[in-house]
A and B are shown apart, each in its own frame.
Chain A
Amino acid sequence: MQHSLDEFLASVELRAFQLARMRLGNSEDAHDVVQDGMERFVAHYAGRPREEWSRLFYGIVHNRVRDYQRHSQVRQRWQQAPAFADDEPGREDLIERAPAPSSSRPEEWLSNASGIEALVAALEDMPERQREAVTLRIIQGMDVSETAAAMKCSAGSVKTHLSRALAKLREVLGAHR
C-alpha cells in the first residue's frame, strides 16, 4: 500500500506543481499547495479505490489553489484600498510584498501566454466535470478510458466534457484576437 501510494504521488507531484504554479503565478505557493494536497490525500483518501486517486488528488489541489487565490484577492483588495497615506511608513513594502495577481482575463492570456496557459487559467471557471476531464486527460495524460474510469462515467461523456471545454476556450480566445 505504502509503495503504491508513493508511486502514485510520484506520478502526480510534478504535474500538480506545474499546474498550481501556472494558476498561482509563483513557485512558493505552488509548493505549499502540493505539499498540503499530498498530506490531505494520504490522511483522508488513501483508502479509496486506486482508480479514483487522480481525480481526488487533483480535486484537493484545485480547492487549495482556490483558497490561495481567495486569500490573495482579499489581501489585494485591502492593500489597494486608499487606507494608508502615501507617505506612511511601510506602505511601499506592503505593496511590493503583495503576491502577483493570478490572472484569468482572456486578453492577458493572449498577450503573454500560450494555449495551455489559457486553458489552465480557464479551469477556474469551468464546471467541475469539465475541469476533471481536462485535468485528467490533458494534465495527467490519461487516455479516454482511464479518464472515464476515474470519473465514473462513459467514454462518450468524457469526450463531451472535453469538447465543451475546448469550444469555450476557442470562443474566449477567438473573441479577443
Chain B
Amino acid sequence: MSSEQEHDEAEIRALREAFEAGLAEVDELDRARLRRARREALKQPREALPLPRPARWQVPVALAASLGLLSLMLLPMLNGGPDQTIESDWAEARNDVSDLEILLAEEDMTLYADLDFYLWLEAELSAREDAKDAG
C-alpha cells in the first residue's frame, strides 16, 4: 500500500470513528422512534406508490403529449400506411413520453404544490403593495 493510500485509510478510520462517536449520543427516545418507524415500514405493501396528484402545469403538458402521440398514430392511416419517417417519429415520441414520466416521477410533487402557493402569495402581496401605492 502506498503512503498516499495509507494516509487515506487513516483518514477514513478517523472519520468513521468520529461518526460512530456521534451515534453513541443519539438518545433512547430517538432510538425508540426509529424502531417504531421500522415496524411501520415493514407493514408496507410491496407495491408501487400511488401516483401523485398532477400540478396545474402538468395537465396541459400531458394533454399536448397525448395529442402529439394521437396525431402520430393517425397520420399513417390518413396517408395510406406507415412509412419509415413516421415509424422513427413514433419511436422518438415514445422516448419523449418516457422522459416525461421519469421527470414527473422523480420530482417531489409537494414541492410544486408549495411553489403554487408561493406564486399565489407573491401575486397577493404585490396586489396589496399596488393598492397601497395607489392609495
* A interface list, Cβ under 8 A from B: 2, 5-6, 9-10, 13-15, 17-18, 22, 27, 31, 34-35, 38-44, 46-47, 67, 70-71, 74-75, 78, 83, 114-116, 119, 137-139, 141, 159, 162-163, 166
Contact = CB atoms under 8 A, between A and B. Distances in A.
Chain B interface helix/strand/loop/mixed: helix
Given A141-B20, A159-B5, A159-B8, 19 more contacts: A6-B42, A9-B38, A17-B34, A22-B22, A27-B30, A31-B37, A38-B41, A39-B40, A43-B45, A43-B49, A47-B46, A70-B108, A70-B111, A83-B125, A115-B15, A116-B18, A137-B12, A162-B8, A166-B8
Interface of B: 4-5, 8, 11-12, 14-16, 18-20, 22-23, 26, 30-31, 33-35, 37-38, 40-42, 44-49, 108, 110-111, 114-115, 118, 121-122, 125
A44 B30 CA distance: 25
A34 B37 contact: yes
B23 A6 contact: no
Nearest to B121: A78
Nearest to A170: B11
A101 to B, nearest CB: 17
A65 to B, nearest CB: 12
A14 B42 contact: no
B26 A9 contact: no
Nearest to A37: B41
A5 B15 CA distance: 28
B30 A46 contact: no
